[in-house]
Every structure is written in C-alpha cells, then in structure tokens.
A and B are shown apart, each in its own frame.
Chain A
Amino acid sequence: MDDVVTDIPPPSRFMLEDLNNFTPPSHPLPSPFLVFSTLDYSKSFHPSLLIIAMSSPSLHLLHHLSSKTLIGTLVLPEFPFSGNSVEPSLSDKSCNIYALNDSDRLIMIALVQYSVTSERSHAVAKLLIGERIIPERVLILDSVQSRNFRGKLSPDDIFAVKLETSFERKSSDTGDSPLIKGLDYFPSGSVVDGLAAALLSRCQLKKIKGTLCVSWPHFGVSVMSLVKSLLLKGALAGINHSSDADLEDEYLRFSRSKDFHLDSELYT
C-alpha cells in the first residue's frame, strides 16, 4: 500500500519546467517557409476554401483524390527531405499543398503528414492562413486527442464533432451552407491542442470562417467512411471525388498495421 506521507508525489498536471521562470528556452529552430511552383514570390492565393488535413482518415482520403494538382509545399526545416519519394506519397514527412482541378472556384488542400509540435504550431498556422494564403473559409480535419477529451472514448465508437469560429457560425445564420453538416459541437470541458488549435485560433483572430472537425477513432475504415460522407455532403459537395485507388481496401490494410490491439502477445 502506498505511503502518502513518504512516497514520491504523483506527477503534477504541470511539468516542473512549466512552473520555473528560469528554465532555459529550447534552441531556436529555423523558420518554416512555403514554396510554390509559381516563380512569382509576391503572388498570394485567395481560395474560396482551404482544407487542412491532419487525421489519418482525411489524409488517406484526400491523398487519393485524383482531381488535384500539386502547387506547393510547407517546409519545416526539422524534417529532412531524405526518405521522401519523388511523387507525393502518404509515407512522406511533408506538407504538400494542392489545388483542386474540378472546380470553378479555387479550393486548396494541405496534407500535413508530419507531426508539428505545439511549440511550432503558431508559426505554421501563420504561414498556412493569412499571409500568402488568404482563404475565405477553412476546414481543418483532425482526430480527437484522448488525453484532452473529458468524455468517454471507446474504440467501438465512431463519431465526429466540430468547433467553429464565430464568423462561421454567423454565416450559417445568414444562409451559407455549413462546411460540415449534422455534427454536434465539441463538448465543453474538453480541448484540442497543437496545430489544429493554432489554425482555428488564427481563423478566429483574423475573422475568417473556420471549422475544425475532429473524428474518432484515429484509424479504421468506418471513421474514414464517416469523414468521406461528411466531406461529400458538405465542403466537397459537387466536386469530382474520384480516387486513384481502392480506398477502403488500402485503408483497411493501413489501419490494421496501426491497430496495436492485434499485436498483443496473447495471440502469438
């Protein structure tokens, strides 16, 4: 039985360095930057919609969308190019930016395939929204973070919830069709952190219509089907969504490789 008097206290909700004014800062990293295929470095983009995908189902879905053209990339210097393939691949550590071909309005898609730390998120969000890319509306696709979610989470549950900027909520009142339909709001008391939070915050501060959709679980054909259905009924309604692969079959194989429950030693 634990001795509460003499035993080492449990870990704090804060790290010790979080509560120390004299913790030295981390060594500064080189700034991230955007590279576009256009040689006009002053050119800015004004998409009617910018979709930023971070969750595994959304990355898989949008990577295989055949009607898109690679137009640029966001370089985070801490991620080397070595190991990346010449043609975009889901296994690359990259953040490629695409334009959708099949649309009378400019729709841009950013596929964030590396893990951006919270400390870097502010800088990356500034690059993706509001400087060279000035979108009318933004849709961010991420997964529920179990460490920050105060509700019950079961691997058998399949759901998605949303958060919106105040301008997006007002636009629904004035007749604009929502980017994501039929979802409840993220429950109060839970939070989303990291890049998704930095992006939605940036939309709120810059008065841009923004929606963050977080889905659960992280992997699985069912959650990918849910995300696909949400996109086709909302943000990508009317867009050619043909894909260059058997999506479900490929994602099933991918998800199984990520399903750690199946790797249990009980079943050897």
Chain B
Amino acid sequence: MEFYVEEGKELDQNCSTLILPALSIGNVGQLAVDLLIASLKAEKIGYLDDPNILPCVGNDAYWPSPPGDLTLPLEAYESSSSALTLVQQRSPVVKGMMVEYAKNLANFASSNGKKHVIILSSLDFGRWHTIDVSSGLQVYYLSTSNIDGTDEDCERLGWNRLQEYNPSQRMWKYLNTLAEVGSALEEDLPFEELGDEDYYPSLPFAALFSCFKAKGLKVTCLLCYCSEGDNIPEGFHLAEAASKLMRLSQNEFHGNEAGKWIIPFSWKSVYGPPADISLF
C-alpha cells in the first residue's frame, strides 16, 4: 500500500486517532464515515493505493462545488481541530485478500503515528441471538483495552461488549496468527467445518481489529445490528457513537441536521433516480 499526499498538504502528526469503516452489511460503516467527513469538514490529505482494493472513481462525494473534484476508492481525510484522521473506502476488497488489506492498513497507521484506531461496522440482524428491544438501537463494541475486549470508556457510555468475542476461540486465534508479518491465508482452512461461533471472526471488522492489534495500536470497534435496506439511520447512529467516544464537541461540527450533521452531496442519489411519474 502506498500513500500519496495531496499537492501542498502533509499529514498532521497530531492526528493520532484514525477512524475507518469495515465492509459490512448495509455499508453502515462507510455511511458513518461519510457523515463524519462531511460534518467535520475534514480536509482531503491524500490517497491510499492498494492492489487489494478494486478500482472505482467518481465525482466529489461531499460538496457540489467546486465541481469535478475526483474521488478515488481509498482516501485519507484529516480534521486537525479534532485530531482525527479518517479513511474512507468506497469499493470492495479483491476476493480472498481481506487480511492482506488489513495488514497493509495497519502498517500505514502505525508508520504514520496513529495511536488509537476506531473501526465502524454493522452486524447482520439475522445473527442477533439475544434481542433486546427495550434499549433501541444498541451500540456494541470490542476493544483492545482489556483481554476480554472490554473498555471503561465504552462501558461508561452504556455500550455492550460484543458477547460473542472469545479471544481463545479457534478463528480469533487463527486471525491473530494471520495478522503477524509473514503469515498468509492458507488455501484450505486448517479447520474442517465452520460453525456459528466462527461467524464473527470471519467478518472484515475482525481482520482489521486483529491486524491493528498486532501492531500494538489501541483499537475500538463500534458495531450495530441491522438488516439491509435503508441503512442511513444506522449510519447516523454509528457516527454519533464515534463522536461520543472521541468526545467531540458540538462546535466541531458544521451542520444543521440534528444540530451538527451535514448530509454528503452524493447521498441525494444513493437510492437511484426518482420513479418515472409517467408510469402513473
């Protein structure tokens, strides 16, 4: 993975926290990062070029003007006032290369002075075993602060540790092995059949978690359950959770939506064009 700095820009070494999405059902992590970048008016600092990311290009995702600012699949933004770097990913990972991609990202983070990484991801509602409707859309988390995945700040915010996390479980241990330099995914898994307990470590957020952890960085995964559909509300929810964890104040945001959020310009067409009214 190579990092290309935008002309006239440089990485702010004070931006020690990195926020990024993990690919997940409903693209919730990516929606949340879009909201944060737009609402913090984070500045584009550069591009990450990785052969494990499929190519895509588009027009500026956040602002209608100046027109034509090119968007690439993996971009880094900074909000110096919030000491935050944000990486947005817009296209999938090449089949079978998720762990390699996660290792490359972890190398980028550790070699550029990042201390804390916040990964935003969703989980499939169909896998939710203990449904708790009393608490609304709950935020779950996973942290490297303690061996069992707990973290005091997250607990104080009323979030639940991901119950299904078990660092001794075979797939979490296998991920830790893969996250080490020089280890590569074997063609055949060293296990015969995968069961329910292997589901969570198979998800992209787990690869990122393990690879950043292997670099000695503090990692917090923020998760919420959802089904696929209109996942914008979940995007807001995770973005709000990230801003609470980072203790971002209201005046660091520039929006009008619920007092602080700016809707990215590209969201106007996120569900395609309006219906052809001549049908009616």
Contacts and interface: CB of A to CB of B under 8 A. Distances in A.
B7 A205 contact: no
A267 to B, nearest CB: 24
B2, B175, B269 — most chain A CB neighbours (10 Å): B269
Contacts of A125: 55
Contacts of B267: 189
A179 B25 CA distance: 40
B171 to A, nearest CB: 8
A19 interface: yes
Nearest to A186: B59
A201 B55 contact: yes
Contacts of B273: 150-152
Interface residues of B, number: 61
Interface residues of chain A: helix, strand, loop or mixed (majority): mixed
Given A19-B204, A194-B55, A197-B55, A188 B269 contact: yes
A191 B57 contact: yes
B91 A193 contact: yes
B73 A201 contact: yes
A202 to B, nearest CB: 8
Contacts of A197: 55-57, 73
A47 to B, nearest CB: 22
Contact of A163 (B4, B24, B68): B68
Contacts of B24: 19
B59 A185 contact: yes
B181 interface: no
B58 interface: yes
Interface residues of A, number: 50
A204 B64 CA distance: 20
B23 interface: yes
Binding site secondary structure of chain B:
loop
Contacts of A190: 58-59, 269
A198 interface: yes
Interface string B89-102: 01111111111000
Interface stretch (A20-28, A104-112, A220-228, A230-238): A20-28
Contacts of B201: 21
B25 to A, nearest CB: 6
A21 B206 contact: yes
B270 A150 contact: yes
A101 interface: no
Contact of A14 (B23, B55, B70, B265): B23
Given A9-B126, A24-B96, A194-B55, 5 more contacts: A24-B185, A122-B55, A185-B68, A189-B270, A191-B58
Interface of B: 2, 4, 7, 23-27, 47, 49, 51, 54-61, 64, 67-70, 72-73, 90-99, 126, 171, 175, 185, 187-189, 194, 201-204, 206-207, 227-228, 265-270, 272-273, 276
